[in-house]
Amino acid sequence: MAKILFVMTGAAYWTLKNGHKHPTGYWSEEFAAPYSIFTGAGHQITVATPGAVIPTLDMMSLRPSMNNGEENALKLENVIREADELRSPISLKDVRLEDYDAVYYPGGHGPMEDLSTDAESGMLLRRALASGKPLAIVCHAPAALLATRDENNETPFANYRLTGFTNDEEAGVGFADEAKWLLEDELRKLPTDYSRGPTWQPYIVVDRNLYTGQNPASSTKLAEEVLKVL
């Protein structure tokens, strides 16, 4: 049995460039699909958030239109309802990386609000990358990599091959013109060797122990790749 740390946003909103606080949180599929895969294989999950805040679900992510129908949406809702780990997160500052065999960051717009500037998450990411343990990050969660920069604006993730939510996909959900910044742009400037697949289709990139997925549809494939090395 492996122990897997899910690092999740504690944000319940995302501040847009006009100052509007858009309700958000984590994206259901990006939690529920990997959670089901890992626990189904007998592995143990611990959830960590900034300040041990109980993570907020982005309710948009449970809409049938976002999940190819009501049946799939209900399946995700049931997984989330039964996942007790969501109700008892630990604080990021209390995480001991040596207690875990892998680290996973699900997305949603929430990480754009908090994890993109969270120093404790940034330190954990640097240590996880250096440890050689599988580090998986999906969709908007690569925003957390922005917090890995040091006082010289350097990051150990520089020039790693990776992916994340695309500008086209942000435009597709109506936020490209409203966001303060776009994830694809910031990842390219970090700099990373960013690549992408077709819009809304599963696409993952593996570079050494870093596993990244482009969008919600990539979360299942991403978890399956991590499962192979656990």
Tens-digit pLDDT profile for residues 36-88: 999 999 999 999 999 999 999 999 999 999 999 999 999 999 999 999 999 99
- Residue 186 tokens read as 């910031």
Instruction: Take residue 76 and report the two structure tokens written for it.
Output: 């995700």
Which residue has tokens 């040091």? 150
Kindly tell me the burial class for residue 170, based on how many C-beta atoms sit within 10 Å of its own C-beta (0-12, 13-18, 19 or more). buried
- Please choose, from the candidates 101, 183, 87, the residue with its C-alpha nearest in 3D space to the C-alpha of residue 134: 101
Q: What is the pLDDT of residue 62?
A: 96
Q: Note the pLDDT of residue 188.
A: 98
Does residue 87 contact residue 48 with C-beta atoms inside 8 Å?
no
Is 39:84 a contact under the CB 8 Å cutoff? no
Residues of the chain whose pLDDT is less than 50? none
Cβ atoms of 113 and 140 within 8 Å: the answer is: no
Q: Which structure tokens are listed for 139?
A: 């969709």
99/5 Cα distance (integer angstroms):
9
CA dihedral of 40, 83, 229, 100, whole degrees rounded to 10: -140
Domains parsed from the chain with CATH numbers: 1-226 (3.40.50.880)
